[in-house]
Amino acid sequence: MIKSIILAAGKGTRMKSDMPKVLHTIFDKTLVGYVIDAVNNTGLADENFVIVGHQAERVEEFINKNYDNAKCVLQSPQLGTGHAVSMALPYLKDFDGEVVILCGDTPLITSETIKEFVEYHREKKSDLTVMSAIFDNPTNYGRIIRNQDGSLNSIVEEKDAKPEQKMVKEINAGIYCINWQKIKPAFNELTSNNAQGEYYLTDIIKWGNEKHLSVNAYTLKNNEEIFGINSKAHLAEATRMLNNRVIKKHLENGVQIIDPASTWISPETEIEADTIIYPSCYINGKNKIGKHCKIGPFAHLRGDVVLEDYVKIGNFVEVKKTTIKSHTNACHLTYLGDSEIGSNVNIGAGTITANYNPLTKVKSKTVIEDNVKIGSNSVLVAPVTIEEGANVGAVGVITKNIPAWSLAITRSPLKVLENWVKKHLDL
């Protein structure tokens, strides 16, 4: 098993936010969360160390709440990437295996790439492997300088590079795999004798070569995976790239997406073949959508939604924490939250499951059993159960359970006042 060290101490001033950079979200999932999940999903890692600094308490609270196999380690003050990694030394004193070092602001990295990276490291019998990438325009990146045998000689920062070195298009991607016991001594020997007065992680390469260790570079196949977030513009671009990746996967798996450019689908959503997603839908969080469903246009699935086969979610329908069984229709302008809905149900336009009590701040469940018909503009005030086959008349406000095969009507009888308009207008 491997361990990871994830660098997440930076302030991220270019984000212009009072929130730590790594806690910004894409599809409601944090940047650092994407990185931790990518490591965990390799099946290789049993422990992650997250190096925190700026607003450490907020980052640590998030990590402790969401990840059992992650531990936060404080870096204070922040004296560079090499110094950040050295903060983990006391926790890995006796560890004799591989450590992968990653950045907490690269949410597009995949578990497949990390796994392949580690496998490359092992195949090369490397002591230290750096991930690299080929850029047509490598400006502002450290250049990968290789030896004639392809091994890694050094990483040269652009400001220090000679003219011929600036022509190199292979750059440092900032991800490392190291044999911990072999490389660990390097972190006690790093110096801050440079323009920034910081301890650079890249200096371990020079140290490794001086010790005649095996030092190599693995070339990344998809450069998008190392896209780092330093601004809100970067955040928007990363969201677009991630969404494009998800859209492509669903199209290849037989999902029909009418307008990919206006459709947003979280990576945690599963969709089966022959389902149609109409334009301007936003599908967020973890959802499971069956076959032959129709979603939208302008529908919003907010997470924890399960749609069985042949479910129709209409125009401007919002659904969250709800299971809907097969052959059920939810017509336009409807809100369904915290609900269990059966098969062959028709939910009329404008229906609302009133699941939240603002006084008690408690959310309750609505249950709609099979073959139920809900009239338009009805409000179902949870907790409430509409039993099998029951009908709810239009404009109904349902505050108690409705027995099977019953008709529930809550509106007052219609009254017609003849000549009322004429009388009030003195006609």
pLDDT tens digit sequence for 147-200: 988 899 999 888 888 899 999 999 999 999 999 999 999 999 998 887 777 898
Q: Among the options 234, 292, 327, 332, which is catalytic?
A: 332
Lowest mean pLDDT across 228-237, 238-247, 353-362, 389-398: 353-362
Task: Report how far Cα 123 is from the mean position of its chain's Cα atoms.
Answer: 31
Question: Beta strands 318-324 and 170-179: pairing type?
Answer: unpaired
Considering 226, 255, 286, which residue would you say is the last residue of a domain? 226
Residue 362 shares a structural domain with residue 242: yes
Considering 182, 207, 226, which residue would you say is the last residue of a domain? 226
Residue 128 shares a structural domain with residue 34: yes
Determine the average pLDDT of the residues in 8-28: 94
Indicate which CATH number applies to the domain containing 280.
2.160.10.10
Q: Which amino acid is at 277?
A: I
Residue 350 shares a structural domain with residue 216: no
Report d(CA 269, CA 271) in Å as an integer.
7
**What is the reported pTM?**
0.91
DSSP code, position 113: H
In order of 282, 310, 378, the CA distances from 295 in angstroms are 10, 10, 21
Determine the average pLDDT of the residues in 251-258: 98
Task: Confirm whether 74 is domain-assigned.
Answer: yes
DSSP string, 47-69: EEEEEE-TTHHHHHHHHHHH-TT
Report d(CA 157, CA 202) in Å as an integer.
9
Residue 332 falls in the annotated catalytic set:
yes
Residue 272 shares a structural domain with residue 166: no
At 82, is the secondary structure helix, strand, or coil? helix
Residue 84 shares a structural domain with residue 205: yes
Task: Confirm whether 126 is domain-assigned.
Answer: yes
Residue 288 shares a structural domain with residue 168: no
Report d(CA 94, CA 181) in Å as an integer.
8
Residue 200 shares a structural domain with residue 345: no
Tokens 């098993």 sit at which residue?
1
Report d(CA 144, CA 172) in Å as an integer.
6
Determine the average pLDDT of the residues in 14-37: 96
Task: Confirm whether 422 is domain-assigned.
Answer: no
Structure tokens belonging to residue 74: 């404080």
Residue 33 shares a structural domain with residue 122: yes
**Which pLDDT belongs to residue 131?**
97
Mean per-residue pLDDT of the chain? 95
**Which pLDDT belongs to residue 426?**
66
Task: Confirm whether 373 is domain-assigned.
Answer: yes
Burial of 402: CB neighbours in 10 Å, binned 0-12, 13-18, 19+: buried
pLDDT tens, position by position, 308-339:
999 999 999 999 999 999 999 999 999 999 99
Task: Confirm whether 413 is domain-assigned.
Answer: no
DSSP string, 155-218: EE-GGG--HHHHT--EEEEEEEEEEHHHHGGGGGT----STT----TTHHHHHHHHTT--EEEE
pLDDT tens, position by position, 257-311:
999 999 999 999 999 999 999 999 999 999 999 999 999 999 999 999 999 999 9
Nearest CA to 170 out of 193, 186, 192, 152 is that of 152
Higher-confidence position of 361 and 120: 120
Nearest CA to 268 out of 291, 250, 292 is that of 250
Residue 217 shares a structural domain with residue 310: no
- pLDDT of residue 427 exceeding 70, the answer is no
User: 56-66 vs 31-40: helix axis angle to the nearest 10?
Assistant: 40
Task: Confirm whether 417 is domain-assigned.
Answer: no
In order of 151, 215, 328, 332, the CA distances from 291 in angstroms are 50, 49, 13, 21
Q: What residue spans of 253-329 are helical by DSSP H?
A: none
Task: Confirm whether 201 is domain-assigned.
Answer: yes
Nearest CA to 70 out of 3, 117, 21 is that of 3
User: Count of alpha carbons within 13 Å of 387, Cβ hemisphere only?
Assistant: 8
Please give the share of the chain, as a percent, with pLDDT higher than 70. 100
Task: Confirm whether 427 is domain-assigned.
Answer: no
Residue 288 shares a structural domain with residue 316: yes
**Which pLDDT belongs to residue 65?**
97
Residue 286 shares a structural domain with residue 307: yes
Q: Which domain holds residue 336?
A: 232-408
Residue 133 shares a structural domain with residue 251: no
Structure tokens belonging to residue 343: 């098969």
**Which pLDDT belongs to residue 158?**
82
For residue 417, give every residue at least 6 positions away whose Cβ sits within 8 Å of its Cβ, in sequence order, or none.
Answer: none
Please, are residues 189 and 82 in contact by the beta-carbon 8 Å criterion? no
- pLDDT of residue 120 exceeding 90, the answer is yes
Position 409 confidence tier, pLDDT thresholds 50, 70, 90: very high
Indicate which CATH number applies to the domain containing 75.
3.90.550.10
Give helix then strand counts, H and E, for the chain: 9, 35
What's the number of domains the chain is made of? 2
Considering 226, 245, 278, which residue would you say is the last residue of a domain? 226
